[in-house]
Amino acid sequence: MIHQSKVMISAAALSLLMLNAASAEVTQKGEALYLEHCAVCHQPDGKGVPGLFPPLAGNPRVLAKEPKEIQEYLQRIIFGYHGGLLVNNRVYSGRMPPLGYTGNINESDLLKLINYQRSAWGNDARPITFKELATAREQGRDTGK
C-alpha cells in the first residue's frame, strides 16, 4: 500500500515536469520565430528603434485585452500596417510587412510567435487563441485589408 502511493506521487510529479517542459518548448519556438521574422526591425529585446520601429515591449497594442483591440493587434501582424503610429510619445510612419499573410509561417507557429511577444520582455498578457487568430484573418479579408 505505502509502496503504491509513492509510485502514484512520482507519476504525478513526472507529468508535471513534462507539462513544464512542453510549455518551455513552445516559448523557445516562439522566441526563435520572433528572432527570425521580427527582430531585425523590432530588435531582439522588443524595444524597437525609436522613431523607426515601434517597441513591442510594454506596447499597449501588444498587451491588448479587449476583443476589438486584440483583433486590431492581430490584423496588424497578419496583414501588415502602415497607418502611422504614436507609441510612447513617438511618431512612427514606416511600413510593417504582412508576415502572417504571405504564407511564410503557418498558423500554429504564428500563434507561438504572437504569444511569445505577449509574454516576453516583461509583457504579461494572456495567450491569444486559435479562434481569435482565425477571426482576425476572416475579418481582415472581409474588409479587403
Q: Does 99 bind ligand HEC (CB under 6 A)?
A: yes
Q: Does 96 bind ligand HEC (CB under 6 A)?
A: yes
Q: Does 93 bind ligand HEC (CB under 6 A)?
A: yes
Binds ligand HEC (CB under 6 A): choice among 87, 128, 133, 136: 87
Q: Does 30 bind ligand HEC (CB under 6 A)?
A: no
Contact 77, 114 (CB under 8 A): yes
Q: Does 94 bind ligand HEC (CB under 6 A)?
A: yes
Q: How many residues does the chain have?
A: 145
Site string for ligand HEC, 35-74 (x = CB under 6 A): --xx-xxx----------xx-x--x-xx----------x-
Contact 75, 145 (CB under 8 A): yes
Question: Whole-angstrom Cα distance, residue 113 to residue 124?
Answer: 14
Contact 33, 116 (CB under 8 A): yes
Backbone CA torsion sign across 86, 90, 93, 99: negative
Q: Does 81 bind ligand HEC (CB under 6 A)?
A: yes
Contact 77, 71 (CB under 8 A): no
Interface ranges with ligand HEC (CB under 6 A): 37-38, 40-42, 53-54, 56, 59, 61-62, 73, 76-77, 81-85, 87, 92-97, 99, 113, 117
